[in-house]
Structure 1
Amino acid sequence: MNLFGLEEKLVRSLADGVRPGAAPDASAPTQSAASPPAQAAGDRTGPAAETALALDAELFARAAWSTIAEPGDGVAGAVVERLGAVRALTAVVEAWPPERLSDSLAVGVDENGAGDPAGLLGELSLALARWRPRLSSAEVIRSLQQARRTHTTLLLPGDLLWPGGVDDLERHAPLALWWRGRPEALAALRHSIALVGARAATGYGEHVAMEAAAGLVDRGLAIVSGAAYGIDGMAHRSALASNGTTVAFLAGGVDRFYPSGHDALLTRIVEAGAVMSELPCGAAPTKWRFLQRNRLIAAASQATVVLEAGWRSGSLNTAGHAAALGRPLGAVPGPVTSPTSAGCHRLLRDYDAICVTTAAEMAELIGVGVDLELDLPGAGGAVDGAGPRERTSDQIRVFDALSVRAPRVPTELARRSGLSTAAVLGALGTLDLEGSVRERATGWVRVT
């Protein structure tokens, strides 16, 4: 029997290597509530075999979707939610036309099983054009094999350790989460605060981050951040030094630590906490993925505190997600003469963030209902001065997919960026006008 064109035995083997409970140090229960007893995996006859095969197929399908769709792809989220990951993947593998896929989404929604109740028909053509160039069983297999080698586990919605906060992202929620570390660190996300800030942090900002993380850990709270240089790194280090729990969300695969200068730090986080990503092993971080990663930091924690941030800091993007989700949002004031605190002052002055100066005040954010509407100009823009603010998300993704030396054709850029070829060509045209890219005889390159 074949699954998605692959031998059933291969799919089962790959799924067994990354399922909850396969990772070392799994001292806490990680079995999905819907999962059968572990010994059922060896029973390949009767109803138990059918259940085990269905679970293997679900895990493999969600792993595949993490390679096909970019983080935060709302169309993918809606299709998987309505059809299930297995049938949704089958639709892409079998190249269903948009009309058939739309009709399938409508079944059970209205009386006739027709129409477009999900409002997706107009988006399905573009979505399928994004997904199909990235459909590669070899890439999924490599990701799963690398995950097994690095003791990485794939967490699915409904698993006991699934961070329930990310479900508030609705159709933009992750389809699966890859993680390394200790199961109890994932359970600690239910009582956590995200500490974020500028990468180019000052001594003042790092001191505040150190004191804040230590104080929150002393109060039994876990620290969530993004493992970047500056504030993020200091928050993680302080939590570890205080024998606390910390969780890092990455913008690439959990097998390739980024930034490289934090390799030792992330190794320590794996040993004492957890490292998570919605991208498969081997995936490279990009600016677009950093911005999407920020929504997970905001959603997985119960409150977000911006400790130090410039006027265009990527931390404001995280703050925007926290506010949109109705999470409590705090900001630490700094010297009025410091550009690295301008973003915090902006949050306090214009967007009703709560002024916090101590760990005790930050802890008070937990359980306090905050209804903020934060619509930051440029909140979805580039991180800490990394590129023009006026670029659209498609242009950012295409620019990230380009190389300075190796020319790449539009179809290759579509595969790397997760966009349709038509969208890539449109973005290239705009980037060419601004002088950021150049077309050569064998493809397009990024201009330094």
Structure 2
Amino acid sequence: MTGAQDEELLARAALTRVLEPGDAHGGRWIREHGATGLLRLLTGPETPWRTPPGVGPERLAAYRRRAALADPRRDLELAAGSGGRFVFPGSAEWPTQLDDLGDERPVGLWLRGRPNLRTWALRSVAVVGARACTPYGAHMAQTLAAGLAERGCVVVSGAAFGIDGAAHRGALASGGATAAVLACGVDVAYPRGHAGLLGRIAGQGLVVGELPPGSHPTPSRFVLRNRVIAALTRGTVVVEAAHRSGSLVTARRAQRLGRFTMGVPGPATSGLSAGVNELLRGEAVLVTDAAEVVELVGSMGELAPERRGPVLARDLLERDTARVLEALPAGRPTTAADLALACGTGTDEVIGRLYELHSLGFVERQGDGWQLSG
């Protein structure tokens, strides 16, 4: 890494202590002054300089206090100690699709896990939904994620209880790839009940977060985390969501970013499916399995199989033979002449079709008449 890159790394790592995720004012500052320039302004003498609209003296003072306390070298050492690293815009591992967020783009991302985030994000799908999900929702999320992982997709979610956890477990169980985007430091197990799951994700996949080591989650950070999930992936699938679900925020943000928005339908009587069913009435595409998701987000030619019911033996009959079979009355025999009249064709033609049907087991001979078998 060159001296300029090292300086950029330290500045952006420090700014993750200063700016909250999704801080558009901070993003505009970085765009105008650069990360290193902004950090110098915040830590240097209090000389007058132009601030973005909406940033008053109190907020600026808060930024300065945070900047004075930031110790990026220590944060980088803490991250490395837990197997982590820091990537930022312009570095080799940075997923450039996050740049679509504009001034709300992350300052950088803290990672745990060995895979390359940029490579993984190229074929990734978000699977999100309700925390208090039903057994149906958990089953659909797990099987959908397993199917996606088996098809070479990276399953991205937020490691929360419910649908998120089911999606991660489905991908892990199939030996596939999964990434968890957190609203806290990547070294923090949240929720605590998912400490084991997060350890498995870090060992087999990636744990991703905007916040530096040791940072705790807040309600606003969860909401802002969703924009990263939406921008990072090629599409978002919602599995169970009430009307006020945060997963709907993720899906609608994905749509605004030009990503695919999909939903798994649920019972019309379930409040937990009301939000996703409403989504399906408008902007989302209905999907029921991994093949249908890959048809949207995958490469050209990755089409879902044609959907149809079971093929019955009578479906394979020629049209004229099937018409003779349909003309046979139920429960009583009839003559070939009567069938010819009913079908509007010749008697010899009907007799030929009847013998064909007899050989296939559809009809039986009863004296001079014919009737349905069984």
The alignment's TM-score, normalised by the length of structure 2, stands at 0.76
Q: Which amino acid aligns with 1:217?
A: A
CA contact (8 A) 1:75 1:123 kept: yes
Distance (whole Å) between structure 1 residues aligned to residue 256 and residue 134 of structure 2: 28
Shift of 1:296: 0.4
The 5 A counterparts of 1:303-382 are: 303-349=235-281, 351-366=282-297
SS of equivalent to 2:291: helix
Distance 1:82 1:200, change over 3 A: same
Shift of 1:144: 3.0
**What CA deviation, in whole Å up to 9, does each residue of 1:339-379 have, x standing for no partner?**
11011011112x321111111111122169xxxxxxxxxxx
CA contact (8 A) 2:76 2:86 kept: no
- The correspondence for 1:100, drawn from 49, 58, 74, is 49
> Do residues 224 (structure 1) and 131 (structure 2) align?
no
CA contact (8 A) 1:62 1:176 kept: yes
> Do residues 65 (structure 1) and 15 (structure 2) align?
yes
Shift of 1:83: 1.4
- The correspondence for 1:178, drawn from 94, 110, 122, is 110
Shift of 1:101: 3.4
Distance (whole Å) between structure 1 residues aligned to residue 87 and residue 114 of structure 2: 13
> Do residues 155 (structure 1) and 78 (structure 2) align?
no
CA contact (8 A) 1:161 1:183 kept: no
**Residue 191 of structure 2: aligned partner:** 259
**What CA deviation, in whole Å up to 9, does each residue of 1:382-430 have, x standing for no partner?**
xxxxxxxxxxxxxxxxxxxxxxxxxxxxxxxxxxxxxxxxxxxxxxxxx
**Residue 77 of structure 2: aligned partner:** 145
Using CA pairs under 8 Å that are at least 6 residues apart, name the structure with larger relative contact order, 1 or 2. Answer: 1
The 5 A counterparts of 1:27-106 are: 35=1, 51-52=2-3, 54-97=4-47, 100-101=49-50
**Residue 147 of structure 2: aligned partner:** 215
SS of equivalent to 1:311: coil
CA contact (8 A) 1:180 1:270 kept: yes
CA contact (8 A) 2:263 2:279 kept: yes
Q: How many residues align?
A: 299
SS of equivalent to 2:28: helix
**Residue 249 of structure 1: aligned partner:** 181
CA contact (8 A) 1:330 1:356 kept: yes
Q: Which amino acid aligns with 1:74?
A: A
Instruction: Give the greater-gyration-radius structure (CA).
Output: 2
Bigger shift: residues 120-129 or 246-255: 120-129
Distance (whole Å) between structure 1 residues aligned to residue 126 and residue 45 of structure 2: 41
Q: Which amino acid aligns with 2:94?
A: W
Q: Which amino acid aligns with 1:168?
A: D
Shift of 1:100: 2.2
Distance (whole Å) between structure 2 residues aligned to residue 322 and residue 185 of structure 1: 19
CA contact (8 A) 2:123 2:298 kept: no
SS of equivalent to 2:20: coil
**What CA deviation, in whole Å up to 9, does each residue of 1:25-58 have, x standing for no partner?**
xxxxxxxxxx4xxxxxxxxxxxxxxx42x32221
- The correspondence for 1:168, drawn from 100, 103, 106, is 100
**What CA deviation, in whole Å up to 9, does each residue of 1:306-337 have, x standing for no partner?**
01111211111111211121111001110111
**Residue 134 of structure 1: aligned partner:** 66
Distance (whole Å) between structure 2 residues aligned to residue 259 and residue 362 of structure 1: 28
Shift of 1:96: 4.3
**Residue 286 of structure 1: aligned partner:** 218
SS of equivalent to 1:179: strand
Q: Which amino acid aligns with 1:353?
A: A
Distance 1:185 1:57, change over 3 A: closer
- The correspondence for 1:196, drawn from 128, 137, 140, is 128
Q: Which amino acid aligns with 1:190?
A: L
* Structure 2: gaps (5+ residues): 300-374
Distance 1:274 1:122, change over 3 A: closer
SS of equivalent to 1:71: coil
CA contact (8 A) 1:59 1:156 kept: yes
Distance (whole Å) between structure 1 residues aligned to residue 97 and residue 108 of structure 2: 14
Distance (whole Å) between structure 1 residues aligned to residue 283 and residue 88 of structure 2: 35
Distance (whole Å) between structure 2 residues aligned to residue 79 and residue 256 of structure 1: 29
**What CA deviation, in whole Å up to 9, does each residue of 1:214-253 have, x standing for no partner?**
1111211110000000000010011011111101100000
Bigger shift: residues 81-90 or 294-303: 81-90
